[in-house]
Each structure stands twice: as C-alpha cells, then as structure tokens.
Amino acid sequence: MKKNGILNSEISKILADMGHTDQLIIADCGLPVPNGVKKIDLSISEGIPSFEELLNLMMNEMKIEKAILAKEIKNKNSDLNKRTVDKLKKSDIEVVYIQHEEFKEQSKFVKTIIRTGEFTPYANVILQAGVLF
C-alpha cells in the first residue's frame, strides 16, 4: 500500500505513464470534458477538493515544465491567478496564457482531466510534463 503522496490509484497511474511534453488538466467543476478524454472526478462538494490543494499535490508528484492558463483568469479570478502564478514561477515553471476557447480546444489532447470541487471561474490549468534529465 502506498503510504504518502497522491494515494488515488488513477492519478498515480497517469503520472507514472506520462512522458516528456504529455499534458493533463486540473479543472474546476465546470470545465467540459471532451469525448474520449479520461476524466478523474475528485469533486465531493463545493470547494472540496480545491484547485490549489490539487495543484500543490501535483507539483510535489510531477516534473512540470510548463503551465497553461486561460487569459480570462487574470480579470475574472485575479487572486487565484496571482497565487497560482507565484507558486509556479517560484518552482521555475514556465507560465503561458491562451484564450479560454483555445484552452478548451487543447483539452481534447490531454491524457486526463482531473475535476476538483472548485467553484471559481477559470480555475483550470494544463500541466505539461518535463523530463528529469
């Protein structure tokens, strides 16, 4: 039995299977999941678990080289945007912004979308796997 880190077996398997440049999404409860993309639904109730809780765990478990956010988060959820960008940049992770419609298009190509209980707008991030060497 795994004793620390992310205990969810589906998430652990996804992370173990990811290679350099593969992507996954941490999503709020409203992001649509395209047909054919695996969804891991962790949402229990409003705010549980939060976007930030899952991002913190993923940053400990995954080598991330780039994070992609919707530009709209800057105006529609500026506090979360600031906390997220500060955390990512502190870990030397490149941060890129794209339009939300482009974000949803990109979601068709990710390995999985992990749905949280987050109830704030544009609380979604694409995490791109880095390489350890």
Give domain limits for the chain. Answer: 35-129
Which residues make up each annotated binding site? Answer: 28, 100, 122-124
Pairing of strands 94-98, 112-115: unpaired
Assess whether pLDDT exceeds 90 at residue 2: no
Q: How confident is the model at residue 3 (pLDDT cuts 50, 70, 90)?
A: confident
Per-residue pLDDT reduced to its tens digit, 69-122: 999 999 999 999 999 999 999 999 999 999 999 999 999 999 999 999 999 999
Which residues make up each annotated binding site for substrate? Answer: 28, 100, 122-124
**Selection from 122, 105, 124 nearest residue 114 by Cα:** 124
User: Which residues are known to be catalytic?
Assistant: 20
CB 82 within 8 A of CB 115: no
pLDDT of residue 4: 85
Mean pLDDT of 28-42: 97
Integer-rounded Cα Rg, in Å, for the chain is 14
Q: How confident is the model at residue 9 (pLDDT cuts 50, 70, 90)?
A: very high
User: Which architecture, in CATH terms, is 35-129?
Assistant: 3-Layer(aba) Sandwich (3.40)
- pTM, to two decimals: 0.96
